[in-house]
Chain A
Amino acid sequence: EAGVVQSPRYKIIEKKQPVAFWCNPISGHNTLYWYLQNLGQGPELLIRYENEEAVDDSQLPKDRFSAERLKGVDSTLKIQPAELGDSAVYLCASSARQSSTDTQYFGPGTRLTVL
């Protein structure tokens, strides 16, 4: 069974440019998460989806970040415009259902460098 797929794996852009990250969760997983991982830190939740509904986006900087999960499968995270401080790894994870104990499966992440 394929794991969580993310693309691109690496992205280098200049500040003020837009950028988008794509995530394909494990087939059948209803819950999808986007995390931000700064260098030397643990991941921090940006947004959580249950099917196509964003049920927790309290940590998403909505002035420049947006996300969507059309049809409740793939998801896209966008930054516009990017700032130097956005350089980080963006991780996508999925779990089978909304549960306190269900295992989250992580993708390999997209490493963003903003110059």
Chain B
Amino acid sequence: AQSVTQLGSHVSVSEGALVLLRCNYSSSVPPYLFWYVQYPNQGLQLLLKYTSAATLVKGINGFEAEFKKSETSFHLTKPSAHMSDAAEYFCAVSGDTGFQKLVFGTGTRLLVSP
């Protein structure tokens, strides 16, 4: 079984500040990990994914995440927040099973203030 825990349903930062969104996973098989962003009334868009290559993964819009097996974590970071980063962020896990069955966390809403 696989699961994802996202700590903090809401995270507030000031524009220009560091963004840190936390994700911890549980998986009985080697995990593949994903971060998606969802803007209001839109579908999910892939930010980045870890697929067992480099543990530090760079994604779109300046985001990156680091896979830490010892901590079972895959936290999302961005050095400097922009107003346009305000959205809902979802972490998801899948397993190396030959097909993709994403199990999503409950999401973290990022609020960016001027």
Contacts and interface: CB of A to CB of B under 8 A. Distances in A.
Contacts of A98: 98-100
B92 interface: yes
A45 B102 contact: yes
A4 interface: yes
Interface stretch (B12-20, B79-87, B104-112): B104-112
Interface of B: prevailing SS? loop
Contacts of B97: 100
B74 interface: no
Interface residues of B, number: 27
A106 B44 contact: yes
B101 A43 contact: no
Interface string A91-115: 1010100111111111111010000
Interface string A36-59: 000011111100100000011000
A107 B41 CA distance: 10
15 contacts: A4-B43, A40-B9, A41-B106, A42-B4, A43-B44, A43-B102, A45-B101, A56-B101, A93-B43, A99-B99, A100-B98, A101-B49, A101-B51, A103-B46, A111-B41
